[in-house]
Amino acid sequence: MAKHVLITGFEPFGGEKVNPSELVARSFEGRLIAGRPLAVRVLPVETRNVRERLEHAVGETSPDIVLCIGQAGGRSAMSIERVAVNVLDFIQPDNAGVIRRNDPIVSGGPDARLSPFPFAQIVSAWAENGVPGYVSNSAGTYICNQTLYEALGIAERVSPPIIAGFVHLPYLPEQAAALAPDRTPSTSLDLMKRGMEILIETVVPWVEQRTPDRGPARTTTKGPHMWIPRGVKEIER
């Protein structure tokens, strides 16, 4: 059976008509990149049942790479997330009207989980191909952070092992134009699609070259000394 790459995006939310993560994810439906069939799921922007939805998608598609995508309005370029923290602290409700304040994602769970993605290689490949991008040390405290946290937890538990990561996308130009175009950064849909293609082309051979007994990155330490990245309350969507 061919190994798959599972790509997830999000529906629009917060009154917006479009979410670039959904458009980018759907553009990969049925495609083959780096020899891998791509499976796509678009998730609701709802805090409830995030883990169950991801587990169902993983069970249906049997991937060894899970790549989640979300929108981060205000960011100037594509950003790959290094860490997810075990906290939800919404500044606006989700699409079901739910607001969570200073809640753990998983009660008693690790304070943070780290993605094992090859960050330096990805950013270097983006730069070589003219795609602006960088490593982010905060996925926020909204649904995107929750999705990465749960995806990394699933990756730790399943067998055979999988790896998981998360990329935030800027606004589309039409979104920026409807807000404050003089100070709202944006990126074209085509450039974001190309950036994701490059990321997959980079990650797949890296995964295939890993030693068979190397598992995904484990969690950070628990307890009162948890490190919370600067900008953790940055708006992410």
* Known active-site residue 81: yes
Which residue in 22, 81, 234, 236 is the catalytic one? 81
* Known active-site residue 60: no
Which residue in 168, 197, 234, 236 is the catalytic one? 168
Are the C-beta atoms of residues 162 and 135 closer than 8 Å to each other? no
Which residue in 4, 46, 144, 197 is the catalytic one? 144
* Known active-site residue 144: yes
Question: For the chain, how far is it from start to end, CA to CA, in angstroms?
Answer: 34
Mind telling me the catalytic residues? Answer: 81, 144, 168
